A and B are shown apart, each in its own frame.
Chain A
């Protein structure tokens, strides 16, 4: 494998996982910040649409580091897509590939299945559920739970907080039910 090919390869879990874990001490040492991304959505509400709601009355500027952090994530995504993009289809479990092919998903290139996530499909029940309802549940659920995968499952568990373990177990339970029972129905439509 040439060097340029190697740059485009996806990273195995044992490389990427520990590096993601190091974001926790990195943010603490840079400036005492707890790792957590979903609160950025609350800051965006507090900055743009506070609408007199008490939940959004706080000094969001004090938390604006978080908005710089998510802006960085967008830039990081763009850098990877431009220069280190993996051109090959994603290597999935062949059982899953078989199951998806039976349901009409045949394109495994890219991060999102282009047959489901496209502008035309957005106005069908399928696309509406995956994009709009899904997104709504991400925003509503993370704030109700007080954190997401980064805030609870990584930061909270790193600090040995048992409520974060409860939250993580519920994230997984919700995901198991949806991925195994609800998504197969949505894909049939």
Chain B
């Protein structure tokens, strides 16, 4: 008997999105209790922390993004570089010492498979990042700081995601 029948998988859909964990091959749903709203609060607090970091580090500033792409400052490279180094050490330690989640589950990490979308989509996103001065996380943070015009940017990003879903089977991957 499989225990994860709950999870609906889109039939025969090619998966190039490794951020939707329940679509990953071999994903095991551990936490049935994860569906209660109070179980989501830790993620809300993690988001608050990340939002504060995004604003205080100025990575959500349109000006900082222009400075980065014009190679006029080390700031953004320093942030991304040190974040990746800390991330690499953390993931290595989790694997090395078999660190469990707070509920005692084994931590599952899934490989990201290569497809041409990472090139074409990456170039398009890079273009959007320079124009708006924001990637998806900063969009939400900018709205939080009161830059309400960014709500239009967010609606447009949702429309872009929707259109990708509609025409993806016609795109090279």
In the complex, are the beta carbons of A145 and B101 less than 8 A apart?
Answer: no
Residue of A nearest to B47 (CB): A72
Say whether, besides A72-B45, A75-B51, A136-B156, A158 and B70 are in contact (CB < 8 Å). no
Shortest beta-carbon distance, A2 to chain B, in Å?
Answer: 18
List B contacts of A161 (CB < 8 A).
111-112
Say whether, besides A77-B140, A77-B141, A169 and B122 are in contact (CB < 8 Å). yes
Interface size on A, residues (CB 8 A): 133
Mask, A37-64, CB within 8 Å of B = 1, is 1111111110001010111111101111
> Chain B interface: which size bin?
35 or more
Provide the main secondary structure of the chain A interface. helix
List A contacts of B60 (CB < 8 A).
77, 111
Shortest beta-carbon distance, B22 to chain A, in Å?
Answer: 5
Mask, B93-114, CB within 8 Å of A = 1, is 1100001011101011111111
Shortest beta-carbon distance, A63 to chain B, in Å?
Answer: 6
Of the A-B pairs whose beta carbons lie under 8 Å apart in the complex, a sample of 17, sorted by A's number, is A18-B82, A25-B99, A28-B90, A33-B43, A38-B19, A41-B160, A69-B50, A72-B43, A73-B140, A92-B63, A132-B153, A138-B160, A141-B128, A149-B135, A155-B87, A158-B91, A171-B122
- Which B residues have a C-beta under 8 Å from some C-beta of A? 6-11, 13, 16-23, 29-31, 34-35, 39-70, 72-76, 78-88, 90-91, 93-94, 99, 101-103, 105, 107-115, 117-137, 139-147, 149-150, 152-166, 168, 171
